[in-house]
Chain A
Amino acid sequence: DIQLTQSPSFLSASVGDRVTITCRASQGISSYLAWFQQKPGKAPKLLIFGASTLQDGVPSRFSGSGSGTEFTLTIGSLQPEDFATYYCQQFNSYPQTFGQGTKVGIK
């Protein structure tokens, strides 16, 4: 099974900060990676698929990069509504595992 490790598990940041979250895969997954945002009590929301393609309607301050085993999600300028937990998920093979999550909190 492919393991996904996100870092950090938690980060605190201020509005306007640039934030970067890393997702590392235990083996190469090409660009078969997606990023989700989840707020408390809500279903996850797709942000990015194919490692770097922004889902329709997602603000352009979100961006994704990487391929193979190392991927990043960047929030260019953190907004109040971006405080949430972020997950990566791989679609290279089954089981289609998730990272453990990164909680972005208010500094």
Chain B
Amino acid sequence: EVQLVESGGGLVKPGGSLRLSCAASGFTFSSYSMNWVRQAPGKGLEWVSSISPTSDYIYYADSVKGRFTISRDNAKSSLYLQLNSLRAEDTAVYYCTRKNYYGSIGYYDSWGQGTLVTVSS
């Protein structure tokens, strides 16, 4: 069974930093692109960042570019998101997702339970 378990969320002051982790199990982690998606309280889903299986390709939303860094450790089956220069508008539940493919068609077939990041003084 595919499992994605996020951790590392919490309360942080504006300008602060946090590192989120996602522990994956039940599949060959090194074969899949992985992603972070966030959801502000009472709001919709926002794609944040994606990383290819061997970290060759990395993408960020404009809203986080230059402040957040996605990375992965295939030996540990883990995905990370380093959040720096945090702002109030970064307050959200952060989900780790797996990207699967059907031919050339990609889709997020597995999601973690999410970890809450609250940015407040």
* Chain A residues engaging chain B, CB cutoff 8 angstroms: 31-32, 34, 36, 38, 43-46, 49-50, 53, 55, 87, 89, 91, 94-101
Contact = CB atoms under 8 A, between A and B. Distances in A.
Contacts of B50: 94, 96
B106 A46 contact: no
Nearest to A101: B44
Given A55-B109, A95-B61, A98-B46, 18 more contacts: A36-B108, A38-B45, A43-B112, A43-B114, A44-B111, A46-B108, A46-B109, A53-B105, A89-B45, A89-B108, A94-B59, A96-B47, A96-B50, A97-B47, A98-B44, A98-B45, A98-B47, A100-B44
B105 A43 contact: no
Contacts of B95: 43-44
Task: Provide the main secondary structure of the chain A interface.
Answer: loop
A96 B35 CA distance: 10
A97 B37 CA distance: 10
A97 B106 CA distance: 13
Interface string B20-39: 00000000000000010100
Contacts of B35: 96
A91 to B, nearest CB: 4
A59 to B, nearest CB: 17
Contacts, number: 58
B45 A101 contact: yes
Nearest to A6: B44
A50 B47 contact: no
Contacts of B47: 89, 95-98
A99 to B, nearest CB: 8
B113 A43 contact: yes
